[in-house]
Structures are given as C-alpha cells and as structure tokens.
Amino acid sequence: MKTHKLRDGAITLHMRDDSTKWQLYINIKGERPIRQSTGTSNLDDAKQFATNLYDECRYKQKQGIAIRTYGFTAVADMYVKELEGNKDNSITAYRKYRSNSGHIERYLKPFFKDKSINEFQIKHITDYKKWRKTNYLKTKPSDNTIRLELNALAQVFKTAVHNGMCLQSEIPTISAPTAHNRRPDFKKDEISTIKDKLQEYIDLAPDNRILAQRMDLRDYVLLQLHIGCRNEELLNLGTKHLEKFNVAGQHCYIATLDGKTNKRRVFVDAFATDIINKRVKRYNNTLENRLWHVVDFSNIFGNWIRWSGLEYNSNNEKRTMYSLRHTYATQKIISTKGDWGAVALQMGTSIEMLQKHYSHVLIENQAHVLDNKPALETTFNKLFDVK
C-alpha cells in the first residue's frame, strides 16, 4: 500500500493495492478522524485536495463551527424536534410546529434528502420551486404555499447556523415567489348566506360534542368578520385581554391581541362584544385565558366551507380562512371611504400594504356610483342574530 504524510503527519494519503484512488486520513486534535476518498488517482491533485480540506477544517474549528458536514435531513429533524419541544408553550408555537413540520416531511426532505447543508446554492432553491409546481399530493400549490415552505427551509438553515454546522455566508439567499392574486372575499349577498349555513351546520350536528364544536366555529367566523384580526391573534384571545368600552351608549370592548406584530389594541364592536358575552355565559366564565377549547379551526372550517357551497367564488377562486380577514378589510375600506390609517391600525398592518392589496376596492365602488348604481353595501351587522 502506497502512503504519503503531509502537514507534520496530520494528513495521511494512502492507496490500497486493490484501488486506483487516493484515500485520505486527517487527524485534528479534539475531533474524530476524517476518512474519505480524494476522488483522484493523481498524487498532486490528491495532495491539493487533502491540504485544502485540512485548512478548511482547522478554520472551522477555530470559528467554533462543526467540521463534519451534515445532511439536510439530519438538520431538518433537529429543527422539527426543537419545534416539538416548544409546541405546548402557546397556540402560535403549536401552529408553527404543525405547519413547518408538515412542509418539511411532505416536500422539503423528499426533495433535498441528505444534501450537505453547506453546499446549498441558489440554483438548488430554484430547482425546488420548479419541482414543487408539478409535485403535490392533492392540489397544485399556490405561490403563497411555496413561500411558506421556503420559510420553513430558511428556519432549517437558521438551525444549522445556530448549532455551528455551517457559516451564515454559506447559506443562499431564499427568494420566495410573490403572490399576485388577491385572496377572494365574501360578497355582500353572501354574508347572510354565511350566517344561514353556519346555523344549518349547527342544526345538523349528530351529537352534543360536534354541536359545541360547530357553535364555536360560528362564533369564530363571525368574530373574524367583525374584528379583522389574524387567525392566531383571535385564537390567543381570552376575557382577561378585554377592557369594557362604551361607544354612543353601546357596550363594546378594547382587546389586547398578541400575534405577528406583537401586542396591540383593537376595537371590538357591539356585535362582536355580544358574541363574546354569550360565549362567556355559555361556558360559565371559564374563558379567561382563551375563548376557545380548540387550538385550531382549520379542519372544521374546511369541512364547513366545502359543505356550504361557498368554497369557491364566481371566478372559481378558492376561499380560505384568510378570506374572512380579507372581507373585513374590503368592507371597512369602503365604509370608512378609504381611511387607510384607521383600518391599518385595527388590522395590525401597514398603510402601504393595505393600499397595495385593496386600492381596487374604492375604484370598483366608485365605478358603481358613476354608473348610476348604488354603492356597494357595507353594513352587515344587522344580518346576524346570534343565539
């Protein structure tokens, strides 16, 4: 067997009698020995490869970075385990665990497999986005879905950096696709249908357990339509976050929400206040920490909207839970005649973001007026009579 020593014996090159490739053995103090093939039969090339690898390993050791390469699957599993350990801390943590672990298991791990975490390039991210467009379980993914998956990928990279598995400079910049289509809202004549279909869904409940779940769904949907907050903000809301507030003789609440934009205060109108008060009475004042006994309404909302016939609008665009928040924004922008600041403050977003996605609302409403048609109806509180 041929053998060559380099760097004061820290590197050993050898070629077995039954092989044509040089193998290397690198010994660095405090680390497990590195054994691998140089991939070449040329001695000079093998020496260059071995010394480069040795220098790279020494540099990483000095920087506190793991010398060994880690495959994507191993790092992804580490991140999911971290999420799982925190999932019981809050509703937001649970939803993050369920969402990101799903993206990772269904698509990211099958595509990237054991690719070395520090060998990722922009090309690999681009290849994933192309692959994802034609590889899916049920329906073709939207740009927003792929953006969420890439956010999960970014968190895996972040885990690798924090655990010294690679340098931040080795991580490629992730460019997520921009969603150009507006999420479909519910139109004025569909608001009363929502109420009717929710009540019908309740009346068809086969037992008391499902009856309670469907009543909770009704309350959740109507509160979303009247407060306009994000899903996780409403899920985290409890009676301890509410302050009594009177407006023109009506009893209302000011709610302190905690979510994407941290804590903020929003107005809860008289209709939404009535829903909350009836819930508190129904559950015997046990809703101090949270108004809900479930951690997520996604599944039951999905079942209901498919059953109701409201899942798609007239343009065959699919509605989701976010359509409730979109409906709130659309209605409030019209009713306030474009008071972007007030609506942005209530919804916890920026004026620029609202104008980017909702400027069309005022234009379409004005078009109705100029065409001698009534302006789009915006008042829908009277359509509801919640028991």
pLDDT digits (tens, 9 = 90+) for 202-243: 999 999 999 999 999 999 999 999 999 998 899 989 999 999
Average pLDDT over residues 354-358: 83
Per the model's pLDDT, the better-predicted residue between 269 and 295 turns out to be 269
pLDDT digits (tens, 9 = 90+) for 25-40: 999 988 878 888 999 9
Q: Which CATH class is domain 188-383?
A: mainly alpha
Q: Are 88 and 79 in contact (CB under 8 A)?
A: no
Q: Which residues pair with 159 in a beta bridge?
A: none
Share of the chain above pLDDT 90, in %: 55
Residue 43: partners with Cβ closer than 8 Å, 6 or more residues away: 4, 13, 22
Closest CA to 239 of 203, 192, 292: 292
pLDDT digits (tens, 9 = 90+) for 116-173: 987 898 999 999 999 999 998 888 888 888 999 999 999 999 999 888 777 787 788 8
- For residue 263, give Cα distances in angstroms to 237, 245, 260, 266, 294: 11, 19, 9, 10, 22
Structural domain spans, the chain: 2-63, 72-170, 188-383
| Rounded-to-integer distance, Cα 235 and Cα 298, Å | 11
pLDDT digits (tens, 9 = 90+) for 43-68: 999 999 999 999 988 888 887 777 77
| Rounded-to-integer distance, Cα 168 and Cα 180, Å | 31
Place of tokens 């909702």: 358
